[in-house]
Chain A
Amino acid sequence: MQRPVLESLLLPRIAGGDQSAVQDCIDRYGGLVWTLARRRLASREDAEDAVQEVFVDLWRSADRFDPRMGEEITFVAMITRRRVIDRLRRRTGLPETASIDEAGAVEAVDPAGDTPVGRRLELGEEARVADEHLEQLQLHEQRVLRLSIYDGLSHSAIAECTGLPLGTVKSHIRRGLESLRRTLAGRTRDDHRAAGRGPTSVERSAR
């Protein structure tokens, strides 16, 4: 019998009021959400508040997750980015960033280890596809995207740092994300076309 690959999805269980999925969700995504929050929020208190907000958002909006639109882990990362950016916007001044080392790498677990956190370093099929997509970009485009999305620098800071005109920085970011968006969307369509609806990227990554 075909293995029920959707078994790994947790948000539909949350949406169904399954309280037993809460712990599973915290176990599976806690490390990711915490890592993403600590990378961008220098204050531990801010990061803790943001992480709590992220999980409240997940409990409340679990029914808005549609596996046809993308992977669950990407949805969780999106909610996390949203909360972190909200928090940064509420503060005055430029966004704070902290490296993973500063943010608690000492607590980190060996990714090759057999602990849940270690296994979770597999960040999904969409992350792999996005990685491949980034490889296709020019180096300076990759750098701009990295500085914006990963390091959280403002457009003007990126312009200053790279020596590129501000308009060029903005267009690199927009073009890079737009092409990635199309790639991910096309991939989802292909998945659906392949098997009537076909397993989504989430399902495939869960195998």
Chain B
Amino acid sequence: MSNFKEHHDDAPLHAAPGSASSDWELAAAACELALLRRSGRPLAPLPVELAERIRQDAPAHLPPSPRGIAIESVPEPKRLGGRTAGRSRLALAGWCTAACLAGVLMWQWMAAPQITAPPGGDASPSALADLRRKLLTDDPEAVTVSWKAGDDPAIVADKAELESAGGLGDVVWSSARQEGFMRFRGLAANDPTVAQYQLWIFDAERNEAYPVDGGVFDVPPKADSDKPYSDIVVRIDPRLPVSRATAFAVTVEKPGGVVVSSRDRLPLLAALP
């Protein structure tokens, strides 16, 4: 054992994030910051060449950026008995509620549909649809809620056509599994270099102003021009645990998404009753 370890027994201050001991580490870190602050000394700037090395090295260690995958239409959503009764009325009420929660509802956007993959995953489009169905089967507590359209050009479908096609799609969410899927119909294709769609999950346990980031996703151009509306299926990938989801909102953001949305463009919202 080194002299340092022998005499500097700070093992409790050194544990994995999230473990009980990491509280001690955070306290020690806060203490060091406090003493650094108290010293009044300025921070030394990171050497430029070192910063450049870190920047160049970063892509090898970053998590993959979510990507979309085109797919053909998906079967109608399997609704849970009783769970979707009165859905449209409830969704409408939910829309109003969530709109209040969100504080804003004025948006706009673009054109065409299909299916995307789970963020960071390589699941095939049909596999996503299967996973969605499996989630509904495996978790009887999973909820299904329909999307309501905001006033945004991202909704490119004609309402009558949408109704015949089964609506704008829906959200399936399993609180127990912290997992879910979204289906979209009549949502405009996006150019990922210009803008991306981003999901937000409102959680009853969190401040309404700061919904959980559900990840960004793309809607690729429609592959089959003969079909007016094919479905997009996207796996929900919350960045933080969601205790009790109350609403889901889709916004249009810059590529890569944002930490907090200005909510200038909010084409879709689904509120749980």
Contact = CB atoms under 8 A, between A and B. Distances in A.
Interface string B30-49: 11111111111111111100
B27 A181 contact: yes
Contact of B26 (A5, A69, A108, A117): A69
Contacts of A19: 58-59, 62, 65, 256
A48 interface: yes
Interface of A is mostly: helix
Contact of A196 (B23, B57, B207): B207
Given A56-B61, A73-B33, A150-B36, A105 B208 contact: no
B33 A117 contact: no
Interface residues of B, number: 76
A184 interface: yes
Contact of B42 (A1, A92, A117, A127): A117
Contacts of A35: 36, 43-44
A34 B31 contact: no
A130 B55 contact: no
A2 interface: yes
A26 B46 contact: yes
A16 B63 contact: yes
Contacts of A32: 43
B24 interface: yes
10 contacts: A6-B210, A30-B54, A33-B46, A36-B36, A51-B50, A108-B44, A127-B33, A130-B31, A149-B31, A196-B207
Interface of B: 2-5, 7-10, 13-14, 17-18, 22-47, 50-51, 53-55, 57-59, 61-66, 103-104, 119-120, 203-210, 213, 215-216, 239-240, 256-262
Interface of A: 1-2, 4-10, 12-23, 26, 30-36, 38, 48, 51-52, 55-56, 59-66, 68-70, 73-75, 77-78, 80-82, 85-86, 88-89, 91-95, 100, 103-105, 107-111, 117-118, 120-121, 123-124, 126-131, 133-134, 145-146, 148-150, 152-157, 170, 176-178, 180-181, 184-185, 195-199, 203
